[in-house]
């Protein structure tokens, strides 16, 4: 089955794994290839969040050469402007990548010509408050609340949609999307969700009570 027709890409950004010479070399090759096609292109190394945030407006495709961690970081930048991400695997696992480095030469033109699907994933928003201070976070994988350096369990009171659920005595809790269900959530004994499932998972980390298990929540 062929991909639905979309408009060809006219502008793209490239983020490459900072510590990988191979990723940087491929980023330069891709940039030259896009320039030859008349595609407006910019390239930055990973962890240059402020630079990405400045260059992102007007970008139609983000090409990320890195591991899952690099893609997760870039996803936070791209979410607000709804910029799709094409991941090229330079990590150990590559759960979130679409291409391997050796596939780029053959398959990149398909994406540039508009022959692709956009796989939409749900994300999480978190607000952390202490006194009058507030911090906001977004995440594609998960939000984790943990005990920190203290070698003792903590008590977490959980409300869902304004209703009290329980008090968990554990090392912490993980709130995971379907995308993140194969990460920390799985290692802590939580279930795997299909990527298109919009539900979230609440999983305690090393809970004191055996009955305190994962809970799948409505979107």
Active site residues: 68
Phi, psi of 162 (to 5 degrees): 85, 0
Distances (CA, A) of 193 to 18, 73, 108, 200: 31, 21, 29, 9
Distances (CA, A) of 123 to 65, 88, 142, 184, 200: 21, 21, 8, 16, 9
Angstrom distance (rounded) from CA 44 to CA 23: 11
Q: What is the edge-to-edge ordering of all strands in the sheet holding 40-45?
A: 40-45, 11-16, 61-66, 85-89
């Amino acid at each position: 089955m062929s991909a639905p027709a979309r408009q060809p890409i006219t502008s793209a950004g490239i983020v490459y794994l900072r510590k990988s010479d191979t990723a940087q070399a491929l980023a330069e090759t891709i940039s030259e290839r896009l320039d030859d096609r008349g595609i407006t292109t910019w390239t930055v190394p990973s962890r240059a969040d402020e630079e990405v945030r400045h260059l992102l407006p007007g970008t139609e495709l983000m090409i990320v050469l890195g591991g899952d961690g690099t893609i997760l970081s870039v996803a936070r930048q791209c979410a607000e402007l709804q910029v799709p991400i094409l991941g090229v695997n330079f990590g150990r696992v590559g759960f979130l990548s679409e291409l391997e480095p050796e596939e780029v030469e053959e398959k990149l033109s398909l994406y540039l010509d508009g022959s692709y699907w956009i796989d939409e994933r749900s994300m999480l928003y978190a607000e952390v408050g202490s006194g009058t201070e507030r911090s906001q976070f977004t995440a594609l994988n998960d939000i984790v609340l943990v005990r920190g350096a203290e070698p003792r369990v903590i008590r977490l009171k959980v409300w869902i949609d304004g209703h009290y659920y329980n008090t968990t005595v554990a090392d912490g809790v993980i709130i995971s999307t379907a995308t993140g269900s194969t990460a920390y959530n799985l290692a802590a004994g939580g279930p795997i969700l299909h990527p298109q499932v919009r539900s979230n998972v609440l999983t305690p980390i090393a809970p004191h009570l055996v009955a305190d298990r994962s809970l799948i929540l409505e979107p």
